[in-house]
Amino acid sequence: MTDVTVIVVTYNSGACFPELKAALEAQTRPFRLLVWDNASESNHRPRAEHFPLGAQITQSEQNLGFAAANNRCAALADTPYIALLNPDAFPEPNWLDRLVDAASRYPDAAGFGSTQIKAHAPDVFDGLGDAYHFVGASWRGAHGAPRASIEPREGYTFAVCGAAALYRTQAWRDVGGFDERLFCFGEDVDLAFRLRLRGWEIVQAADATVSHIGGASTAARSGFETFHNARNTMWVFVKNMPASLLWMAAPLHALKTLTHYAFSFLRREGASYRLGVHAGLAGLGDAWRQRQNVERSGDAADRIARALTWSPLALLQRAPKIWR
């Protein structure tokens, strides 16, 4: 018997399978494993021998995206918790235990994040929770910071990185899981927004640790991440920011976008950024209509305001925001 379903979504991730299998087999907590492959090339497609015994593997002939693939697997989960794990994120043996322990300590929270270490630079953080600034910008807290400079701590954070996170299954389903229009990038922040708007908290668990390569499935696709981040940033902001904050922040969000747009002409992947902005603008009407379907608790604006990062310096430094 288990109380956790682990979901792994793969796309041309075959190089990660041996280390991922070893990390999963070392877990000290039993779990059900669902693997979804998004139309990988033939030599990267997952097979039973690539994963612990009992893994249920679904081979899709279409790349549905990270968001939709996780939703398909989450719909099959029959456990109180679902844990998302990227194929290039390798958890320590007590990872699942630590996340479920955190869930028991924080009954007011629906999402629980991991301390992420760079797999190829173990003295550097890959992330300590996701922060979200008032102007509509998100980032992985402490990404690239030396581990000696910050002591990971447990507490509330705006969002958790979907590369290695635990969610309460019912809370996930109540808000509809990931927004599949986003395809990938930003879907974890969008989900955290909707959970917070419904009254849930989000927690960063300091002692649940993974080593994360990052970008193992997208590094070869030039501009892919840039495009989706540019587009999805606009949609997440318009769709979720409470009205009283939206009208204050919208001019700054527009200024930020225009500034990045101008500087994009000096960047190698600037064309991808501009295409992302154009796609974001084209889809703003849909994002606004989606906004009407996002349920909000009575104190939603206050709850979001408390969780936002307001300092411009914190934005520039990509500082984590974790509080008790």
Do the domain assignments include residue 71?
Answer: yes
Q: Which two tokens stand for residue 263?
A: 């500087």
Do the domain assignments include residue 301?
Answer: no
pLDDT tens sequence across 204-244: 999 999 999 987 665 545 699 999 999 999 999 999 999 99
- CATH code at 162? 3.90.550.10
Regarding whether 228 and 203 lie in a shared domain, the answer is: no
Regarding whether 248 and 169 lie in a shared domain, the answer is: no
pLDDT tens sequence across 266-306: 998 899 999 999 999 999 999 999 998 888 887 889 999 99
Give the pLDDT confidence score for residue 313 in this predicted structure: 96
Regarding whether 260 and 123 lie in a shared domain, the answer is: no
* Gyration radius from the chain CA atoms: 19
Regarding whether 142 and 236 lie in a shared domain, the answer is: no
Which position has the token pair 């070869």?
A: 220
Regarding whether 148 and 292 lie in a shared domain, the answer is: no
Regarding whether 135 and 268 lie in a shared domain, the answer is: no
Please enumerate in sequence order all residues whose Cβ is within 8 A of that of 215, keeping only pairs 6 or more positions apart, or say none.
88, 225
Domain containing residue 146: 4-212
**Could you give the percent of the chain with pLDDT greater than 90?**
93
Measured at the alpha carbon of residue 140, what is the angle toward residues 79 and 117, in degrees to the nearest 5?
Answer: 75
Confirm if 201 and 324 have CB atoms less than 8 A apart: no
Q: List the one residue out of 157, 133, 139 whose CA is nearest residue 253.
A: 133
Domain stops at, among 192, 212, 232: 212
Indicate the number of domains in the chain: 2
Do the domain assignments include residue 29?
Answer: yes
Regarding whether 240 and 207 lie in a shared domain, the answer is: no
Regarding whether 111 and 230 lie in a shared domain, the answer is: no
Please enumerate in sequence order all residues whose Cβ is within 8 A of that of 156, keeping only pairs 6 or more positions apart, or say none.
109, 201, 202, 203, 204, 307, 322, 323, 324
Do the domain assignments include residue 312?
Answer: no
Do the domain assignments include residue 317?
Answer: no
Give the pLDDT confidence score for residue 296 in this predicted structure: 85
Regarding whether 162 and 139 lie in a shared domain, the answer is: yes
Which position has the token pair 């960047």?
A: 267
pLDDT tens sequence across 56-110: 999 999 999 999 999 999 999 999 999 999 999 999 999 999 999 999 999 999 9
**Identity of residue 8:** V
pLDDT tens sequence across 44-70: 999 999 999 999 999 999 999 999 999
Regarding whether 237 and 141 lie in a shared domain, the answer is: no
Domain stops at, among 147, 182, 212: 212
Do the domain assignments include residue 64?
Answer: yes
